[in-house]
Amino acid sequence: MNRTFTLLLALFISVTLSAQKSTVAYPKIPESPATKLKAEFLKKLDKPGQLSEPGQLSEPGPVEAFDQEFHVESGSPYSRLKDAPERSVSADYKRRLDSIVGGKTKMVYEYDEDDNPISTVEYIRDTITDPWTPSYKDESSFDENGRSTMEAGYYWVDSLKQWVGDYKVEYTRDENGRTTVWHTFAWDPDDGKWINADKWEYAYNEDGNETDFSVYEWDEESGEWVGVYTEHYNYDENGNVTSSSSSWEWDPVGKQFKPGFKMEFTLNDSGMVTSWVESRWDAVADDWVYTQKGDNTFDPNGNNTSNVWSNWDTISNQWVFVSKYDNTFDSENNQTSSISAFWNADSSKWDNGQKWEYIFESKKSGNTTTSVNAGRKRISTIVYAWSPEPYPGLWIPLYRTDYTYDGEGRRTKIVNSNWDIIGALWDETRKEEDTYNERGYVILSITSEWNGSMWVVTGKREHIYDPVTFFLLSYIYYTWNYTHNMLVGYSRTDYDRDSYGNNLSYTYFIWDLILSAWVESTRYVYTYNYNFSNADILAPFYMWYMITSYIAYGYQADALKSTADWVETDAFTYHYTDLEVGVSTSDIFRGDLSIYPNPATDYIQVEGDELASGARIVMYNVSGRMVMNQVLDRGGRIAVSHLSEGIYVIRLVQGDKVKTAKVMIE
C-alpha cells in the first residue's frame, strides 16, 4: 500500500463540506488532510494530479487522439523524455533506428551498450547556408535493469554556440527498483550549469509499503535543503494504514519538520476503517489537539451503511456532530440509497439534507419480476432535497439520470431530467446516445439538449471501422458553435491502413464554416519494410513494422487553376543500423498464452504454460507512446482502469521470447 490508501479510506468516510453548500451535489469522495495538502503542493509545483511516482506518464488520450504519429513535425513519442517513462529494451532487435531525415528537420538517436535510448537530437536545416543547426536535445541514462536514472533536455542557442539546459531529473532507486529520490535541477544561465532545485524522497518498509514521502527545496543562500512537505504512514501486519502524519512546517534550527497533522485509524477484522481521528499540533499547548473525526458502520457483507463526521469543540472539550450519511443496499450488495443529514445544534437533532436513490433493472424469474439487479446495471439515479417548508416532512425531487442498455449490457443512452415542481413531472434536459458495431466498439455518440420544444444535437462523434479487420479508418467529431448557433466540425482524421493495422496514410481535415463542410488540410504517407517486425526493431518509439519513409503533404489551391491539390511539403527517410547480436526469431512464447478479457475495463489477466517470474509487460497507446512498463507479478493480473478508452499494443517479453497482442480498453 502507498499514498493511494486515502482512496480506500474514501470508501468509508463521508463528505460534509460539499454537502453543506446550497447547490445539490452527489456525495463526493472525501480526502484526508494529508492528501489535500499534497494536492495543493503538487498544484503549487505545477504538477496537478500527479500523486504517482514522478517521471511516470499521465493518463494517455482517448482512442480518437491520433495527433501524434512518428513524423518529426508532431514529435516522436519520446521527443521530450521528461514526459516518458522508464524503458527496458530486450536484446532481440535486428535493426536500430539511428535517424529520421527530412528536407527541413531531422532527428538523430543514440543508444548505450544495452540499447537504451540515451540521446535524441533535433536539427533544423538552414535554408540559406544549408547546414543542419541543432535545435533541441534529450539525454537519458539507465541502470543495469533498463530503468531510467536521469533525464535532461537542452535548447541550442545559436548565438552562444552551445546547449542551454531546459530541465533535468535524476532518479535514485532501491534494489527493488522503487524510486527513493527524485531530484530535479534548474539551469543557471550565469554559470552555464545545473543547480539544485528540489527533491522528493521516499522510504518503504520491508513489505514494500511506502512509509515516508518528503519534499525539499534548495536554498541557495544557505546551500542546504529546506523541507516543504512531508508524510509518514504506519501499517499493521496486513498492510493496512493505522496512522498517518503530515506537515508543511520546517524547523530551520533543528533542520527537521515540525509536527503538523496526524490521523489515527481503527479497523475491524476485515481491514475496514470503523473510525478515524484527525489532530493538529498546537505549538502553544505543546500537544496534539483534536480537530475532527469520522465513525463508520458496515453490514455483514462489508457494505458501508453509515458515516458520521464530528468536529472537536475546544471550548466544551467534546465532540460535536456535523454531518452523516446513511446508505442502504440490496441483497446483491448494490447501493440503493444514500441520505445526508446535518446536526442542528439548536434542536439537538439531525436535519435531513439530500437523498440519492439508485434504481436497478428488474430481474425476471419465470413469470415473476423482482427488484434484484440483473447484470448489475443501474437504470436510474434520482436526487431529492428535504423540504421542511412549505411541504414539511417531504422529499422533493430535484434531478434524475436514466440509463438504457442493449442486449449485450452496453449503455446506449443517458438522459438527464429536472423536476418541474409546478407541473409535478420530469423535464428532460440533456441526453447522450451511443451506437455500437458487432465488435462492441462505439461507432456513433450523439449529445443533445432539449430547447423547450425539440432535441437539438450539440455534439457528435463518429468512429468508422473496417468491417473485416475492425481497424479504425476515420474519426470525426462535431461540436456546437454558440456564436453561429449550429453544429460544426471540430476535428476529423481519415486512415488508410495495411492488413497489419499500420498507417499507410492519414489525412487531417478542417471545418469550413462558409461551406459547412470538411476541407482537406494535411496528409502523411508511409512506407514500410515488412521483413522486420516490432521484435526486430530498436527505436525510441513503438512500430508494428519498420517504417522506411513518409511524405508530408499540404492541400493547397493552385493560383493558375480553379482547383486545389496535394502539394508535397517534406519527405523523411528512416535510417537504420544492422545490429550484430544474437537474437531469437521467435515472436511467441512456447506453449499456450492468453491475455483476457478483451475488451477490458478494470484489468487484464495474463496466463501461460511457461510464464515465469521476471516476464515484463509493456503497453503502448495508438500513438506509440509507452503507458506501462512493469514486471509481471506472480498472479499475472494488470490493472488498466486508469487508462483511457482505446486500443493498446501489448509486448510481453520473457528472456528471448516475445508475445505481441492488442487489447481494447473500455
In this prediction, residues 12-40 reach a mean pLDDT of 33
Question: Confidence band (pLDDT; 50, 70, 90) for 461?
Answer: very high
C-alpha–C-alpha distance, residues 472 and 647, integer Å:
10
How many CB atoms lie under 10 A from the CB of residue 107?
26
C-alpha–C-alpha distance, residues 231 and 247, integer Å:
7
User: pLDDT tens, 417-449?
Assistant: 999 989 999 999 999 999 999 989 999 999 999
Query: Is residue 122 predicted with pLDDT exceeding 90?
Result: yes
Q: Which of 2-11, 44-53, 231-240 reaches the highest mean pLDDT?
A: 231-240
| Helix, strand and coil in the chain, % to nearest 5 | 5, 55, 40
- Compare 204 and 177 and report the one with higher pLDDT: 204
Predicted pLDDT at 155 = 96
In this prediction, residues 503-523 reach a mean pLDDT of 93
Predicted pLDDT at 33 = 38
Q: Which of 196, 191, 186, 135 is nearest to 165 (CA)?
A: 186
Cell numbers representing residue 510 in the block:
478542417
Predicted pLDDT at 582 = 41
Question: Confidence band (pLDDT; 50, 70, 90) for 93?
Answer: low
Residue with cell 436510474: 380
Least confident of 273-282, 283-292, 494-503: 494-503
Query: Is residue 49 predicted with pLDDT exceeding 70?
Result: no
Question: Confidence band (pLDDT; 50, 70, 90) for 294?
Answer: very high
C-alpha–C-alpha distance, residues 646 and 654, integer Å:
26
Cell numbers representing residue 209 in the block:
509499503
User: pLDDT tens, 374-396?
Assistant: 457 999 999 999 987 767 789 99
C-alpha–C-alpha distance, residues 524 and 504, integer Å:
8
Whole-number CA gyration radius for the chain? 29
Pairing state of beta strands 537-538 and 95-101? parallel
- To the question of pTM greater than 0.85 for the whole model, the response is no
| Helix (H) or strand (E) run with residue 486 in it | strand 486-497
DSSP state of 535: G
Query: Is residue 70 predicted with pLDDT exceeding 60?
Result: no
Predicted pLDDT at 172 = 95
Pairing state of beta strands 250-251 and 241-247? unpaired
Predicted pLDDT at 638 = 83
* Bridge partners for 279 per DSSP: 262, 290
Query: Is residue 456 predicted with pLDDT exceeding 90?
Result: yes
Predicted pLDDT at 556 = 80
- Compare 585 and 193 and report the one with higher pLDDT: 193
Query: Is residue 54 predicted with pLDDT exceeding 80?
Result: no
Cell numbers representing residue 275 in the block:
473510525
* Burial class of residue 117, CB neighbours in 10 A (0-12, 13-18, 19+): buried
Cell numbers representing residue 357 in the block:
436513490
Question: Confidence band (pLDDT; 50, 70, 90) for 663?
Answer: confident
Predicted pLDDT at 94 = 78
Question: Confidence band (pLDDT; 50, 70, 90) for 634?
Answer: low
C-alpha–C-alpha distance, residues 648 and 585, integer Å:
23
- Compare 1 and 293 and report the one with higher pLDDT: 293
**Residues in contact with 589: Cβ distance below 8 Å, sequence separation at least 6, in sequence order:** 608, 610, 611, 652, 654, 657, 659
Q: Which of 64, 81, 67, 4 is nearest to 39 (CA)?
A: 4
Q: Which of 55-64, 125-134, 542-551 reaches the highest mean pLDDT?
A: 542-551
User: pLDDT tens, 602-623?
Assistant: 888 887 655 555 677 778 776 5
- Show the domains of the chain with their CATH numbers: 1-31+219-311 (2.40.128.720), 584-666 (2.60.40.10)
Predicted pLDDT at 21 = 27
Least confident of 47-51, 372-376, 465-469: 47-51
C-alpha–C-alpha distance, residues 43 and 642, integer Å:
20
Single-letter amino acid code for the residue at 465? Y
Least confident of 310-319, 401-410, 580-589, 653-662: 580-589
Sheet holding 657-665, edge to edge: 626-631, 616-620, 646-654, 657-665
C-alpha–C-alpha distance, residues 518 and 475, integer Å:
13
Query: Is residue 43 predicted with pLDDT exceeding 90?
Result: no
In this prediction, residues 146-150 reach a mean pLDDT of 90
What does the longest C-alpha to C-alpha distance in the chain come to? 89
Query: Is residue 647 predicted with pLDDT exceeding 80?
Result: no
